[in-house]
């Protein structure tokens, strides 16, 4: 599937934030939201101006924001920049996470510092972004939050204990937050991708051929996943087509997990 595959214009007039949008799956999400008519803030700790420029070159509206999702002030500045540029905030895609550069290893070799870093970005980062974004959604009387977990949560995948635990927390956060903000007509759902061959994953020697091949073999659909494979479910969860759906986790892994 191409990353810029158009699905219509279901998000015209909406404003969205995508964290971790400078490359890989996050960049695919940001471009897809723009292709659907949304105005997009591409947030990342890295420079996301190339993705912003690509969206603008394709006829969309976008801004780039440097953001550390573990820092409340930085997240608040990103939300403020979005509402200043677009006048509103309708959609938050919490994609920023530490994964592609992690080394596969036994849990006994994971340092406390590495555990804390993964938890801070992957869990508290989602919390900080939701906390900053929801007041603007409440003022609108609606909103869509899409968190990104991982199919590893349902597999109990070994050798990435800090990552799997962090993504399990994202699933739990999604369910609990959906209960809190449903009264405000804000939906909170979650996508759990399988192994996706993004730039960072493809460049990580820890995820070698045998690891990728074994993962692919476990799927009903026997092929590697690309960032574009995540676009359809993400757009669905950001659109009014999922307006009566909240607290749910959708696994998108080619049928490795079925539940």
Q: Which residues belong to the active site?
A: 163
Which residues neighbour 59 within 8 Å (Cβ) at sequence distance 6 or greater?
Answer: none
Rg (CA), the chain: 17
3-state secondary structure of 116: helix
Backbone φ and ψ for 103, nearest 5 degrees, come out as -95, 130
Q: What is the distance between the alpha carbons of residues 46 and 44, in angstroms, rounded to a whole number?
A: 5
Q: How many CB atoms lie within 10 A of CB 221?
A: 12
As beta bridge partners, residue 65 has 43
> Which stretches of 160-223 are DSSP H helices?
161-181, 199-203, 209-217
Q: What is the distance between the alpha carbons of residues 125 and 70, in angstroms, rounded to a whole number?
A: 5
Q: What is the distance between the alpha carbons of residues 15 and 83, in angstroms, rounded to a whole number?
A: 8
Within 13 Å, how many C-alpha atoms sit on residue 58's CB side? 22
């Amino acid at each position: 599937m191409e990353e810029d595959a158009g699905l219509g214009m279901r998000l015209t007039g909406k404003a969205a934030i995508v964290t971790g949008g400078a490359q890989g799956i996050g960049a695919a999400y940001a471009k897809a939201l723009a292709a659907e008519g949304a105005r997009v803030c591409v947030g990342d700790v890295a420079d996301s101006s190339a993705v912003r420029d690509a969206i603008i070159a394709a006829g969309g509206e976008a801004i780039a924001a440097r953001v550390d999702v573990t820092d409340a002030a930085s997240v608040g500045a990103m939300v403020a920049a979005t509402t200043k540029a677009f006048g509103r905030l309708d959609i938050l895609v919490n994609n920023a996470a530490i994964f592609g550069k992690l080394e596969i290893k036994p849990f006994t070799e994971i340092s406390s510092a590495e555990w804390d870093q993964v938890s801070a970005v992957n869990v508290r980062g989602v919390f900080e972004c939701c906390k900053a974004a929801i007041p603007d959604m409440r003022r609108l009387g609606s909103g869509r939050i899409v968190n990104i977990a991982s199919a590893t949560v349902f597999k109990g995948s070994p050798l990435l204990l800090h990552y799997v635990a962090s993504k399990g927390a994202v699933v739990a956060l999604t369910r609990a937050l959906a209960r809190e903000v449903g009264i405000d007509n804000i939906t909170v759902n979650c996508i759990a991708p399988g192994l996706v061959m993004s730039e960072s994953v493809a460049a990580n020697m820890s995820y070698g051929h045998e690891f990728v091949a074994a993962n692919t073999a476990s799927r009903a659909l026997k092929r590697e996943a690309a960032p574009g494979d995540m676009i359809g479910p993400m757009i669905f969860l950001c659109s009014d087509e999922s307006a009566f759906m909240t607290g749910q986790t959708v696994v998108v892994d080619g049928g490795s997990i079925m539940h």
